[in-house]
Amino acid sequence: MLDPREAEQVPGSVDPALRDEVAHTTARAVVHRARAAEDPEVVARLVRLVETEGLDVVAGLWADAAPVTLPGALWRLYVLREWVRRDPQTVTLRYRLGVDAAPVHEAVAGVPRPPEPTDIRELADAVLSGVYAGDLAVALERAASFCRILATGAAFDADAREVADPLGADRMTRGAADLQRTADELERSAALWRTDKLD
């Protein structure tokens, strides 16, 4: 236990307005400087940001940002890449289950058929590379289409498991809804980027 004098020295939580300002400032700085530098090594380092700095560090910067903002979009892309990196088999299975029901999104996502875990990983890396060295709106749209295919696959998987594992099926259905919402947010972010309004 801390004595009262030590307790007074412990800082309180960060002011939400300051946290939001830090999120936007760091996101703008990272994206705009990387795009201006046009250095493949910088882009590669930023793609691997979570691997080198840890998901907690990235979360501390951007996880609390509003979804349809530059830091919010970056957070969603890094979480998506981390999921692909940590569980490529599940992501690939969901993609395979959903891809036939979403041919337009398949074309936008740009994953070869039949997808292998390495193809899924390459897409996640290509999306983040596109943020820093390509058309950012296209990168966001590719990620959105990828999320829509995964959501469809998760919904099909949930239907197939409903009798044998109703709790697991319910969890997958909620996950599918979350992926659909993320896809919507990424598409809205792409539209804002095209009009120079994504901050």
Nearest to 74 by CA among 66, 38, 91: 66
Per the structure, how many domains does the chain have? 1
Single-letter amino acid, residue 98: G
Separation of CA 28 from chain center:
17
Q: Is 185 helix (H, G, I), strand (E, B) or coil?
A: helix
Give a yes or no: residue 108 inside a domain.
yes
Kindly state whether residue 135 falls inside one of the protein's structural domains.
Answer: yes
Residue 118 is assigned to a structural domain of this protein: yes
pLDDT of 13 reads 53
Residue 150 lies in a domain: yes
**What range defines the domain where residue 31 resides?**
15-194
106 in a structural domain: yes
The C-alpha atoms of residue 147 and residue 130 are separated, in whole angstroms, by: 17
Could you tell me if 49 and 85 are in contact, meaning their C-beta atoms sit under 8 angstroms apart?
no
Query: What are the pLDDT digits (tens) for 66-90?
Result: 999 999 999 999 999 999 999 999 9
pLDDT in tens, 134-170: 999 999 999 999 999 999 999 999 999 999 999 999 9
What pLDDT does residue 17 have?
A: 81
Residue 49 included in any domain: yes
In a domain, 132, yes or no: yes
The answer as to whether 2 is a domain residue is: no
- 18-74 residue pLDDT tens: 889 999 999 999 999 999 988 999 999 999 999 999 999 999 999 999 999 999 999
